[in-house]
């Protein structure tokens, strides 16, 4: 995964509470420490903003996939019913999108959903053979971990440990990948 | 305190649970050996499934002549069962998508089980489509294959083809939505796993999830868009199913009221099925603190509302049949209520319109026994609704010489029983091997909606919350 760069040596602050870790992110950043990433058992609103992560562009991907679904459905129905083998059924116009609305809608939703989920998995590097980089196994249970890449910080290890402790970390561990 | 629930609002999680308690309580049944109750229930389901499978294969081997169909009544139990199961399959996505958009937090405890139910119910519905084709090995003819392959393209102007697209899209999107919701919880099970085998299996299915802030942000965004997509999708599915009938010229079917009436009925029966399953799950897996009486009452309110909509639709149909002045239409409805299938009509009326009105009483709405019994009655009523619509409209043809009756055979009944075996086998497998409550989502409501706020630690005093406007905005 693209998570590992720098020295591969991390200081991991373990927090017990979501509100504490959210405040700690600001404190640690203000103290001049570069945070690698925070790992949590459930989503904390505003955490990505506090960490300075850019806003996700998943919405753009979703729109484009949806649009491709719409166009596919239009092409499919117009080609088959309008051009290749027109059939008069109920006097409905073969070149009218109105009668194909259900098919167009369903394919739009299908392409959009599958495309977006695929994009999500690819952009996060998720897949069945991926071995997760777990900074602490308890972060999928009840703990919140803040990982500091020592190779990307000029501040000394003990100082960072002090800053993490002061920000509310219950424990600070070293993790080497 | 930054996010406090009003004292008027009752808690969603009782028993003063902490984050670790949530993980422990819900992972327990996945990690432990199967209980005796589960093993017995699973054995029965598999036996029923095997019997049903044998009957379904016999139906295909002999042909649809083993059913009670005739030249006049060409659709009966097959399509009744199909519509019934598709209808049941509406509650899960309604709970996970529409209630997410409406920020109804009580959905967090029941959405996982309801979505699983949706997926299995849609599979049961699809099995009746395959059955009623008679030659299931030609099922791919329903797909738009090139002209050289068969004689013609599919007819894109037909609601039956719209159905192929609607049901398959609905199934796929529901499955993806459900699986994405499972990822964080699968990772939890993976990280707790003691045996190598389960660590490997749950590890593979959790796709390497590690819960980083970036992943969560994208995940939440994706869930919101999926919910936005699923909301019109769930409404479109039963709309299109209703068009299978409404676009025809059969008296009793040819009505513009069908789409909203079918959608309301679908949600009605789906919630009733969720109630039945959830009431069993909460007792068997000891999840009373997560699936509380509040959850059950909320769902009963939805049942009351949609049941009333269905009741209004029944009366409207009758009124319009008279008001339109079309004699075939009027006859179809008088025949429904007083003809040879009067008992089916009145079973439908009683179960769908009269008994659910008992839920106006708070005591009944909050009673587990009443909820369970009334939910079963709702689903009996909803099955009869589809039977009434399909069979009573067909059995009186335009020509009186073609009038006929439909009598179910052993294979009509057995093929229906098959779907129960199929459904409960899948549902029991789900309830054993996957967490039945969404742990990650329940953890997000612990602070705002728990009976007792967890004791805060280091840095922040108990009861005092760090001010964070972003967080508040999303909570409230």
B320 beta partners? none
pLDDT for B455 equals: 45
Q: Which two tokens stand for residue B334?
A: 């008088």
Q: Are residues A15 and A41 in the same domain?
A: yes
Q: Are residues A72 and A85 in the same domain?
A: yes
A12 beta partners? A147, A173
Q: Are residues A37 and A80 in the same domain?
A: no
Q: Given a cut of 60, is residue B2 above it in pLDDT?
A: no
Q: Is residue A49 part of a domain?
A: yes
From the candidates B222, B228, B234, which should be mutated to test the interface with A, based on the most A CB atoms within 10 A?
B222
Check: CB of residue B137 under 8 Å from CB of residue B460: no
**Out of A89, A120, A168, whose CB is closest to B157?**
A89
What would the pLDDT profile of B425-439 be if each residue is shown by its tens digit? 999 999 999 999 999
Angle subtended at Cα B198 by Cα B197 and Cα B203, rounded to the nearest 5 degrees: 105
pLDDT for B456 equals: 44
Angle between helices B293-323 and B368-387 (to 10 degrees): 30
Q: Given a cut of 90, is residue B207 above it in pLDDT?
A: yes
What would the pLDDT profile of B216-269 be if each residue is shown by its tens digit? 999 999 999 999 999 999 999 999 999 999 998 899 899 899 999 999 999 999
Q: Are residues A140 and A102 in the same domain?
A: no
Residue B326 is classified by DSSP as -
Nearest CA in chain A to B459: A168
Chain B interface includes A58 (CB < 8 A): yes
φ, ψ at A107 (rounded to 5°): -70, -35
Comparing B128 with A176, which gets the higher pLDDT?
B128
Contact A51 B188 (CB under 8 A): no
Q: Is residue A128 part of a domain?
A: no
pLDDT for A175 equals: 84
Distances (CA, A) of A96 to B59, B158, B247: 41, 14, 18
pLDDT for B473 equals: 38
A103, A123, A143: which is the final residue of a domain?
Answer: A123
DSSP code string of B196-218: HHHHHHHHHHTTT---BHHHHHH
pLDDT for B475 equals: 41
Q: Given a cut of 90, is residue B144 above it in pLDDT?
A: no
Residue B434 is classified by DSSP as S
Closest CA to A124 of A52, A50, A37, A63: A37
pLDDT for B150 equals: 64
pLDDT for B162 equals: 92
B212 beta partners? A39
What would the pLDDT profile of B151-163 be if each residue is shown by its tens digit? 688 888 889 999 9
The interface predicted TM-score (ipTM) is 0.91
Q: Is residue A129 part of a domain?
A: no
Angle between helices B439-449 and B19-31 (to 10 degrees): 150
Which has the minimum average pLDDT: A141-145, B1-5, B48-52? B1-5
**Out of A90, A112, A131, whose CB is closest to B229?**
A112
* CA B262 and chain centroid, separation: 14
Q: Are residues A63 and A118 in the same domain?
A: yes
Closest CA to B386 of B310, B473, B291, B476: B310
Q: Is residue A1 part of a domain?
A: no
Domains of chain B: 19-475 (1.20.1630.10)
A13 beta partners? A146, A172
Q: Is residue A118 part of a domain?
A: yes
Helix (H, G, I), strand (E, B) or coil at B458: coil
pLDDT for A95 equals: 85
A78, A95, A123: which is the final residue of a domain?
Answer: A123
Q: Are residues A72 and A17 in the same domain?
A: no
Residue A17 belongs to domain spanning: 9-55+135-176
What would the pLDDT profile of B430-473 be if each residue is shown by its tens digit? 999 999 999 998 888 887 766 555 444 434 434 444 444 333 33
Distances (CA, A) of A42 to A120, B210, B368: 17, 11, 31
What would the pLDDT profile of B26-37 be if each residue is shown by its tens digit? 888 888 888 888
Residues of A in contact with B461 (CB under 8 A): none
Q: Are residues A65 and A44 in the same domain?
A: no
Q: Are residues A49 and A70 in the same domain?
A: no
Chain B interface includes A110 (CB < 8 A): yes
Check: CB of residue B185 under 8 Å from CB of residue B30: no
Q: Given a cut of 60, is residue B3 above it in pLDDT?
A: no
Q: Where are the beta strands (DSSP E) in chain A?
A: 9-15, 37-39, 144-149, 171-176
**Out of B20, B212, B466, whose CB is closest to A142?**
B20
Percent of chain B with pLDDT over 90: 64
Q: How confident is the model at residue B40 (pLDDT cuts 50, 70, 90)?
A: very high
Contact B226 A113 (CB under 8 A): yes
Average pLDDT of the segment spanning B295-307? 92
Q: Are residues A67 and A100 in the same domain?
A: yes
Check: CB of residue A75 under 8 Å from CB of residue A108: no
Average pLDDT of the segment spanning B115-143? 92
Q: Are residues A140 and A156 in the same domain?
A: yes
Check: CB of residue B344 under 8 Å from CB of residue B387: yes
Average pLDDT of the segment spanning A107-112? 96
Q: Is residue A2 part of a domain?
A: no
Contact B214 A84 (CB under 8 A): no
Residues of A in contact with B476 (CB under 8 A): none
Contact A53 B222 (CB under 8 A): no
Q: Which residue has the tokens 């199909």?
A: B82
CATH number, domain of A13, equals 3.30.70
Q: Are residues A49 and A69 in the same domain?
A: no
A37 beta partners? A147
Distances (CA, A) of B382 to B117, B265, B270: 17, 7, 10
How distant is the Cα of B392 from the closest Cα of chain A, in angstroms?
25
Q: Are residues A87 and A110 in the same domain?
A: yes
Check: CB of residue A15 under 8 Å from CB of residue A21: yes
* Burial of A110 from C-beta contacts in 10 A (0-12 / 13-18 / 19+): buried
pLDDT for B141 equals: 86
pLDDT for B449 equals: 66
From the candidates B154, B157, B229, which should be mutated to test the interface with A, based on the most A CB atoms within 10 A?
B157
Chain B interface includes A122 (CB < 8 A): no
Chain A, chain B: beta-carbon pairs less than 8 Å apart: 242
Number of domains within chain A:
2
Q: How confident is the model at residue B106 (pLDDT cuts 50, 70, 90)?
A: confident
How distant is the Cα of A165 from the closest Cα of chain B, in angstroms?
9
Q: Is residue A130 part of a domain?
A: no
Integer Cα distance of B120 and A12 in angstroms: 42
Chain A interface includes B204 (CB < 8 A): yes
Percent of chain B with pLDDT over 70: 92
pLDDT for B184 equals: 93
Q: Is residue A95 part of a domain?
A: yes
């Amino acid at each position: 995964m693209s998570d590992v760069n720098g020295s591969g040596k991390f200081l991991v602050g373990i927090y017990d509470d979501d509100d504490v870790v959210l405040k700690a992110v600001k404190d640690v950043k203000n103290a001049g420490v570069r945070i690698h990433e925070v790992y949590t058992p459930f989503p904390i609103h505003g955490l990505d903003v506090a960490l300075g992560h850019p806003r996700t562009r998943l919405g753009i991907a979703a729109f484009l996939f949806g649009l491709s679904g719409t166009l596919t459905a239009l092409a499919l129905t117009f080609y088959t019913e309008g051009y290749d083998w027109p059939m008069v059924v109920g006097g409905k116009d073969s070149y009218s999108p109105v009668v194909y609305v259900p098919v167009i809608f369903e394919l739009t939703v299908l392409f959009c959903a599958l495309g977006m989920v695929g994009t999500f998995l690819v952009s996060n590097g998720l897949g069945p053979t991926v071995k997760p980089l777990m900074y602490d196994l308890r972060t999928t249970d009840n703990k919140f971990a803040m990982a500091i890449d020592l190779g990307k910080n000029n501040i000394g290890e003990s100082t960072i440990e002090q800053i993490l402790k002061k920000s509310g970390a219950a424990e600070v561990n070293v993790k080497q990948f | 305190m930054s996010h406090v629930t009003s004292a008027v609002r009752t808690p969603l999680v009782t028993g003063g649970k902490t984050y670790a308690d949530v993980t422990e309580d819900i992972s327990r049944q996945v990690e432990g050996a199967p209980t005796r109750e589960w093993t017995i229930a699973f054995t029965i389901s598999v036996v029923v499934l095997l019997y049903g499978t044998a009957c379904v294969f016999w139906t295909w081997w002999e042909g649809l002549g083993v059913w009670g169909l005739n030249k006049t009544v060409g659709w009966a139990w097959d399509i009744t069962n199909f519509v019934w199961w598709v209808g049941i399959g509406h509650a899960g996505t309604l709970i996970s998508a529409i209630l997410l958009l409406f920020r109804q937090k009580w959905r967090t405890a029941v959405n996982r089980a309801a979505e699983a139910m949706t997926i299995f119910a849609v599979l049961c519905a699809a099995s009746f489509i395959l059955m009623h084709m008679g030659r299931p090995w030609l099922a791919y003819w329903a797909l738009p294959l090139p002209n050289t392959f068969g004689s013609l393209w599919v007819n894109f102007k037909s609601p039956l083809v719209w159905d192929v697209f609607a049901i398959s899209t609905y199934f796929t999107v529901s499955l993806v939505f459900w699986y994405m919701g499972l990822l964080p919880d699968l990772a939890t099970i993976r990280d707790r796993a003691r045996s190598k085998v389960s660590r490997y299996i749950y590890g593979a299915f959790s796709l390497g999830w590690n819960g980083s802030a970036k992943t969560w942000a994208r995940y939440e965004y994706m869930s919101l868009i999926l919910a936005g997509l699923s909301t019109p999708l769930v409404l479109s599915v039963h709309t299109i199913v209703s068009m299978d009938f409404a676009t025809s010229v059969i008296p009793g079917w040819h009505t513009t009221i069908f789409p909203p009436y079918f959608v309301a009925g679908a949600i009605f029966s789906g919630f009733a099925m969720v109630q039945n399953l959830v009431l069993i799950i909460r007792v068997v897996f000891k999840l009373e603190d997560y699936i509380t009486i509040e959850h059950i009452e909320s769902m009963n309110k939805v049942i009351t509302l949609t049941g009333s909509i269905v009741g209004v639709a029944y009366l409207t149909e009758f009124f319009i049949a008279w008001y339109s002045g079309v004699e075939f239409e009027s006859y179809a409805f008088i025949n429904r209520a007083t003809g040879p299938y009067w008992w089916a009509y009145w079973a439908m009326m009683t179960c769908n319109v009269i008994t659910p009105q008992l839920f106006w009483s708070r005591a009944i709405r909050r009673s587990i026994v009443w909820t369970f019994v009334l939910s079963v009655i709702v689903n009996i009523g909803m099955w009869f609704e589809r039977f009434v619509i399909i069979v009573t409209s067909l059995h009186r043809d335009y020509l009186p010489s073609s009038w006929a009756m439909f009598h179910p055979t052993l294979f009509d009944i057995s093929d229906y029983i098959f779907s129960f075996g199929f459904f409960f086998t899948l549902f029991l497998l789900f309830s054993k091997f996957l967490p039945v409550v969404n742990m990650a989502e329940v953890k997000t409501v612990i602070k705002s909606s728990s009976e007792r706020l967890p004791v805060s630690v280091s840095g922040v005093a108990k009861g005092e919350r760090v001010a964070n406007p972003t967080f508040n905005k999303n909570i409230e």
